[in-house]
Structure 1
Amino acid sequence: MPKVSVSSLPLSDQILIQKSRLFVEASQLESQAQNKGKGKKRGKGRRGRDNVKTGQGGTLDPLADGVLVVGVGKGTKRLNEFLDCSKEYQTTCLLGCETDSYDSEGARVRTAPWHHVTRASVESALEKFRGEIMQTPPIFSALKMDGMALYDYARKGIPLPRPIEQRKVTIHSLELIDWKGSDHPYRWPEKQFTQEEKAALEKSLSSVDDQATVHVEDESDPEPAEGEVPMAFVLKMRVSGGTYVRSIVHDLAHSLGSAGHVVTLTRTRQKNWVLGEPTEDGDRRCIPWEVIEKSLKDEGERDEEGWAEWERKVIDIIDVVEGTNDNP
């Protein structure tokens, strides 16, 4: 399963792409080799490493893994198709604790009772989150307002220019696929929301809500008894572009009279690219991230046509954009 959790195309992918005849003309590769032999550094010009344009079709949260669509050359012009397309996710919700980022990467903001939550109550609550819903993106997100990411407003204590706008999203399907109960390895984050962080967040919210306050857990908030593990469950969903899975988990936990945050998140589909075996007409398999990691250490022997293992796997699945280059 690929593990990609950065906001731009991984440098490792760029390194492989820039030296592969799949994407770079043979004459240019030869020129690069000659320059390297003469000790010349490649710049960012016409013959530099940045000659091949690369990009990706939609970021993943820091803790997330799964499908990441990569565009190379003229293929980057099609990446917008993968921003607004439907996507599938599997996510694990851990009850009883809310964080500033709505996931386990953040700090504890609030804890709440969870013992009363049952599988039946979760399945019943899911109904209100299916179909077209209005959703407010979390302030700790990369969504930009006037050119600045929302999380920068929150962390730096900069007042928001206006309220975060709700957006209409479509939850095509949403189901509970695994009730883990307390049989799992997940625990609440150790990190606490500090008074300084609380003050910064309240300041960023003050311009749009002069009554804004941030509840930081105190001694009266419920803590698990010694040896007790809060309940967790796994959701599977297909959603429209722009949907925040973290917000669904956060809002669902609230509707259950509890608190909750995301502890695992895997994107299993992005348009027609899928993890594992295809299940629908037109589905295409992804290259496992382990193939890329292995090739960075050692590309291994090339086949009779001169292709490395990772290049052959790309050839098997690549979607060629007309006129990108003359190579396969």
Structure 2
Amino acid sequence: MPKDTLPSLPLSGLFAVAKPSGPTSMAIINDIKSLINTSPLFVEQEKLDAHKEGKNEKPKRKRWKSNRDMAKIGQGGTLDPLADGVLVIGIGKGTKKLSEFLDCEYKTTCLLGCETDSYDSQGAQVRVAPWKHVTRETVENALSAFRGQIEQTPPIFSALKMDGIPLYEYARSGTPLPRKIEKRPVTIHSLEVEEWLGSDHNFRYPGLVLSKEQKRALENTLRSVQEDARVVDEPEESGGDDRAPTAFVLRMKVSGGTYVRSVVHDLGHAVGSAAHVVTLTRSRQGRFTLEPIEAGDVGCVSWDVFKAATEDVGPADEDGHTAWEREVIDRFEVIDTSGTTGSNTKPTQSSPQPAAPST
């Protein structure tokens, strides 16, 4: 895009990155922030010049601040390290628009017969349970209880705090909870079985297993709010059947604050088994999506673009933009000075246009 077609700088607005599975959302944000805070697209040139000058004047080092706060940046909803997919980023005035992206669409693979402390495959086995009796029809019938407005209990192994102490610390130490974990109202707009994998997959239970002492501690914590709570294995009778436990894929659209892991965990109980998440993808967050297919959809910037730029930002093009800046511009929704969301900018266009689908 020619320089003279860009809105006035620095830019405020929104874009989305395709987060990979593995790193935390905060790690992603911090790496992107290190690039944003050195870009004249998002930081006033005077600030960049002053910061550069301050760095070079070592005796006056206290006069300049780290560039970490040069531009305001935020995210529209944390993803677990296991999860991949759409992570909306707000810059400048765009951070005030992040609350518009609470409703999200997810695709998750569920594995029956085992529940874990984290409710996903990155945790430790808490207990195993029978799974062979569960059919696709069983699961589909059980899903009706999870649709609409429901009350959801956050995981006992979560960072949510009760009286200033994370819930997971109570569970690990066996300390009784001061009170029951408060349920949260959430809305499951849609919830369907997208694919029934059966035993045709390579997923396995986590290798890490809670010890007897750890199980007793967890049970002690749970019994402080539920007298009949038991953490006991109920292994499936093999009977010469060495099939892998059943797995299936759910697709859902949910409101902000929904724990997808809890949906899967509670569904396992509802069908007389146990279950945990083995893959989790946020496929859509508002109008930002991994696969733009509708008018108004906006694609994501690949994480590889930012990863490469943190190692070597590379040369600028004829318009003065580096490769990562060009990718962001192509999918950026500008917020003007009045706080209004404008159309996406796009290279080679003389006026703002919808962003092209990303591949």
| Structure 1 and Structure 2 fold alike (TM over 0.5) | yes
Q: How does 1:293-308 map to 2 (within 5 A)?
A: 293-308=307-322
Identity in percent: 54
Selected match of 1:319 from 312, 324, 333: 333
Q: TM-score, normalised by structure 1?
A: 0.86
Q: Are residues 1:90 and 2:107 paired?
A: yes
Partner Cα distance (2:74, 2:64) in 1: 18
Partner Cα distance (1:309, 1:181) in 2: 43
The change in CA–CA distance for 1:303 and 1:227 in structure 2 (over 3 A counts) is farther
Question: In the alignment, what sits opposite 1:108?
Answer: 125
Is the 8 Å Cα contact of residues 44 and 51 (structure 1) preserved in structure 2?
A: no
Question: In the alignment, what sits opposite 1:57?
Answer: 76
Question: In the alignment, what sits opposite 1:196?
Answer: 213
Q: How does 1:1-328 map to 2 (within 5 A)?
A: 1-3=18-20, 5-8=23-26, 10-38=29-57, 48-82=67-101, 85-209=102-226, 211=227, 213-217=229-233, 221-222=235-236, 228-279=243-294, 281-323=295-337
Partner Cα distance (1:134, 1:188) in 2: 28
Is the 8 Å Cα contact of residues 2 and 287 (structure 1) preserved in structure 2?
A: no
Could you say what secondary structure the match of 1:27 adopts?
helix
Is the 8 Å Cα contact of residues 157 and 199 (structure 1) preserved in structure 2?
A: yes
Could you say what secondary structure the match of 1:177 adopts?
strand
Partner Cα distance (2:148, 2:199) in 1: 30
Q: Which runs of 5 or more residues in structure 1 are unaligned?
A: none
Partner Cα distance (2:161, 2:62) in 1: 32
Could you say what secondary structure the match of 1:10 adopts?
helix
Deviations along 1:2-47, one digit per CA (max 9) or x if unpaired, are 2164253532111111111111122222333344445579779656
Following superposition, the deviation at residue 153 of structure 1 comes to 2.9
Could you say what secondary structure the match of 1:110 adopts?
strand
User: Which range moves more in the overlay, 22-31 or 239-248?
Assistant: 22-31
Is the 8 Å Cα contact of residues 45 and 51 (structure 1) preserved in structure 2?
A: no
Deviations along 1:119-165, one digit per CA (max 9) or x if unpaired, are 22222222222222222121122333344432233234443232112
The change in CA–CA distance for 1:27 and 1:205 in structure 2 (over 3 A counts) is same
Could you say what secondary structure the match of 1:248 adopts?
helix
The aligned amino acid for 2:181 is I
Is the 8 Å Cα contact of residues 51 and 65 (structure 2) preserved in structure 1?
A: no
Could you say what secondary structure the match of 2:20 adopts?
coil
The change in CA–CA distance for 1:133 and 1:303 in structure 2 (over 3 A counts) is same
The change in CA–CA distance for 1:324 and 1:13 in structure 2 (over 3 A counts) is farther
Q: Over aligned residue pairs, what C-alpha RMSD do you find?
A: 2.8
Following superposition, the deviation at residue 92 of structure 1 comes to 0.2
Partner Cα distance (1:41, 1:227) in 2: 70
Q: TM-score, normalised by structure 2?
A: 0.80
The change in CA–CA distance for 1:285 and 1:130 in structure 2 (over 3 A counts) is same
